[in-house]
Amino acid sequence: MPINITMPALSPTMEEGTLAKWLVKEGDTVKSGMIIAEIETDKATMEVEAVDEGKVGKIMVPAGTEGVKVNAVIAVLLEEGESVGDVKAPIVAPLKVEAVPAPKPVAPVSNPTFNPVTPAKAGAQSSVAVLDPGFRRDDRIVSERIIASPLAKRIAFNKGIDLKALKGSGPHGRIIRRDVESARPGAAQPAQGGAPMMADGLILPQILDDRVYAPDTYELKPLDGMRKTVARRLTQSFMQVPHFPLNIDITLDNLLESRAAINAAAPKDVKISVNDLLIKAAALALIDESDCNASYTDKGIAYHKHANISVAVAVEGGLITPVIFKAEGKGLAEISEEMKDLATRARERRLKPQEYMGGTFSISNLGMFGIKSFASIINPPEGMILSVGAGEKRAVVDETGAIVARTVMSVTLTCDHRVIGGAEGAKWLAAFKRYVETPEAMLL
The pLDDT of residue 295 is above 90: yes
Within-domain flag for 120: no
Identify the DSSP state of 203.
B
**Confidence tier at 3 by pLDDT (50, 70, 90):** confident
Within-domain flag for 295: yes
**Confidence tier at 138 by pLDDT (50, 70, 90):** very low
Same domain for 270 and 417:
yes
Q: What is the pLDDT of residue 145?
A: 60
C-alpha radius of gyration, the chain, whole number: 29
For 321-368, the three-class secondary structure string (H helix, E strand, C coil) is: CCEECCHHHCCHHHHHHHHHHHHHHHHCCCCCHHHHCCCCEEEEECHH
Over range 118-133, report the average pLDDT. 35
Within-domain flag for 229: no
Range of the domain at 276: 243-443
Same domain for 256 and 208:
no
Within-domain flag for 306: yes
Burial bucket for residue 243 (CB in 10 Å: 0-12, 13-18, 19+): middle
Query: Could you read off the pLDDT of 148-199 as tens digits, one per residue?
Result: 877 778 777 767 787 877 888 877 778 888 888 778 654 334 444 444 444 4
Burial bucket for residue 121 (CB in 10 Å: 0-12, 13-18, 19+): exposed
Q: What is the CATH number of the domain that holds 14?
A: 2.40.50.100
Burial bucket for residue 244 (CB in 10 Å: 0-12, 13-18, 19+): middle
The pLDDT of residue 102 is above 60: no
Q: What is the pLDDT of residue 45?
A: 77
Within-domain flag for 311: yes
Identify the DSSP state of 243.
E
Q: Which residue has the higher pLDDT, 107 or 317?
A: 317
Same domain for 167 and 22:
no
**Confidence tier at 116 by pLDDT (50, 70, 90):** very low
**Confidence tier at 325 by pLDDT (50, 70, 90):** very high
Over range 198-210, report the average pLDDT. 48
Q: What is the pLDDT of residue 208?
A: 54
Same domain for 389 and 268:
yes
Cα 194 to Cα 350: distance, rounded to the nearest angstrom: 40
Please state which of the ranges 211-220, 230-239, 327-336, 422-431 shows the lowest mean pLDDT: 211-220
Q: What is the mean pLDDT of the chain?
A: 80
Q: Are 167 and 194 in contact (CB under 8 A)?
A: no
Same domain for 216 and 247:
no
Active-site residue, 306 included:
no
C-alpha to C-alpha distances, 97 to 60, 92, 107, 319, 350, nearest whole angstrom: 29, 15, 20, 48, 47
Cα 277 to Cα 254: distance, rounded to the nearest angstrom: 12
The two beta strands, 130-131 and 114-115, are antiparallel
Over range 283-296, report the average pLDDT. 97
Same domain for 371 and 332:
yes
The pLDDT of residue 384 is above 50: yes
The count of residues in the chain is: 444
Same domain for 283 and 179:
no
Over range 237-242, report the average pLDDT. 92
The pLDDT of residue 248 is above 70: yes
Asked which of 81, 96, 114 is the last residue of a domain, the reply is 81
Count: domains in the chain: 3
Same domain for 261 and 327:
yes
Q: What is the CATH number of the domain that holds 283?
A: 3.30.559.10
The pLDDT of residue 73 is above 80: yes
Residue 27 sits at φ, ψ, to 5 deg, of 100, -15
Q: What is the CATH number of the domain that holds 150?
A: 4.10.320.10
H or E segment to which residue 416 belongs: strand 403-416
**Confidence tier at 41 by pLDDT (50, 70, 90):** confident
Identify the DSSP state of 191.
P
Query: Could you read off the pLDDT of 429-444 as tens digits, one per residue?
Result: 999 999 999 999 998 7
Cα 382 to Cα 374: distance, rounded to the nearest angstrom: 19
C-alpha to C-alpha distances, 161 to 180, 196, 238, 323, nearest whole angstrom: 8, 15, 32, 41
Same domain for 369 and 257:
yes
Which of the residue ranges 15-24, 34-43, 61-70, 319-328 has the most confident prediction, judged by mean pLDDT? Answer: 319-328
Q: What is the pLDDT of residue 34?
A: 87
Same domain for 323 and 258:
yes
Within-domain flag for 103: no
**Amino acid letter at 198?**
M
Same domain for 218 and 271:
no
| Residues 6+ positions from 368 with CB-CB distance below 8 Å | 390
Over range 67-95, report the average pLDDT. 68
Within-domain flag for 137: no
Residue 180 sits at φ, ψ, to 5 deg, of -80, -40
Within-domain flag for 87: no
One DSSP character per residue, 286-304 reads HHHTGGGSEEEETTEEEE-
Same domain for 272 and 215:
no
Task: State percent of the chain over pLDDT 70.
Answer: 78
Asked which of 33, 53, 81 is the last residue of a domain, the reply is 81
Query: Could you read off the pLDDT of 389-432 as tens digits, one per residue?
Result: 999 999 999 889 999 999 999 999 999 999 999 999 999 999 99
Q: Which residue has the higher pLDDT, 417 or 7?
A: 417
Asked which of 165, 188, 222 is the last residue of a domain, the reply is 222
| Residues 6+ positions from 183 with CB-CB distance below 8 Å | 156, 159, 161, 165, 166
Please state which of the ranges 3-7, 214-218, 360-364 shows the lowest mean pLDDT: 214-218
